[in-house]
Chain A
Amino acid sequence: MRKRRQPDNHDSSTGIDLAPMLDFVTNLLIFFIITAVFVKESGLTVNRPTSFEQENKEDSKSIQVQILDNGEIWIDNRAVDSHAVRANVERLSAVNPDSGVLILAQDKAPTGVLVEVVDQVHLGGVYNITFSTTQ
């Protein structure tokens, strides 16, 4: 019994020592936990028109927001600031509450402006957004 009380940091002869394997597995686990947390993306969902006919049919009901190549935003034949999109959308959707928003972007319009407009329309309370491009 005296001999067993002594510190036996080598060969205790009770099967395989699992501690190194546990260290390795724990390291792998920590790595996968860290990579799992950091890859989630946030985004805004927009619809695309299913066909050109439908796009034209919806024109009468929906609120149209146009984005030009140079980043200008036009609503109701007026150029508006990006911060004023929310107020305009709120006003127009109060008149016609069921209407969605149709964003007509020109081909070379910057995506930053597009996302800004989508964000402002969301803030204005409309989530039914269709995104279409024109030449």
Chain B
Amino acid sequence: MQSRRHAPESEDTGIDLAPMLDFTVNLLIFFIITTSFIKEAGVTVFKPPAITAVNKPSGNLLIAVRENGDIWMDRRHIELRDVRTLIERLHIERPKDTVVIIADKESSAGAVAKVMDEVRLAGITDVSIAANPNGGGG
């Protein structure tokens, strides 16, 4: 028992988990930081298919337009006039984020255009319309 109390470098009690824990916590912090800023729309819409749709890695602000013209953002149903203030605030927080409008197949082009104009007024010029690259039938 005496020899177990001192001699800090040779204690044969299994693997030392501390370095693995350090590494895992670092990875965890990285993933928390990269994921927590995506603003999901919070509503299911049927995206139109498009073969040439490209992945938008910085498209973190998602605005959904439903077939009846309802606008959803950050899991809440919002009015058109609220889009500008919300986007302005988020644009100040993270200036590199771009907007992806997830519009339903049956939604009207006028509603999408109005949302795009509000986003542009809020200062984000890179706006794209979401499409499903896999279901592309042309």
Contacts and interface: CB of A to CB of B under 8 A. Distances in A.
Interface of A: 4, 8, 12-14, 18-19, 21-22, 25-26, 28-29, 32-33, 35-36, 39-46, 48, 67, 82-83, 105-112, 114-116, 118-120, 122-123, 131-133
Given A48-B116, A105-B109, A118 B129 contact: yes
Interface string B14-43: 000110110011011001101100101000
A119 B17 contact: no
Interface in B92-138: 100-110, 112-113, 116-117, 120, 126-133, 136, 138
B106 to A, nearest CB: 6
A111 B129 contact: yes
Contact of B113 (A32, A123, A133): A133
A112 B27 CA distance: 40
B98 to A, nearest CB: 9
A22 B23 CA distance: 10
B77 interface: no
B85 interface: no
Contact of B24 (A26, A109, A123): A26
A12 B50 contact: no
A66 to B, nearest CB: 11
A42 B57 CA distance: 8
22 contacts: A14-B11, A19-B17, A25-B28, A26-B24, A41-B102, A44-B53, A45-B126, A45-B127, A46-B128, A46-B129, A105-B110, A107-B110, A110-B106, A111-B48, A111-B106, A112-B106, A115-B129, A116-B138, A119-B50, A131-B113, A133-B110, A133-B113
Q: Which of A13, A105, A111, A133 has the most CB of B within 10 A?
A: A111
A111 B105 contact: yes
Contact of B51 (A33, A36, A123): A123
A44 B130 CA distance: 6
Given A43-B53, A115-B48, A107 B131 contact: no
B52 A122 contact: yes
A13 B103 CA distance: 60
Nearest to B104: A111
A118 B21 contact: no
B13 interface: yes
B107 A111 contact: yes
Contacts of A8: 13
A46 B12 CA distance: 64
A43 B56 contact: yes
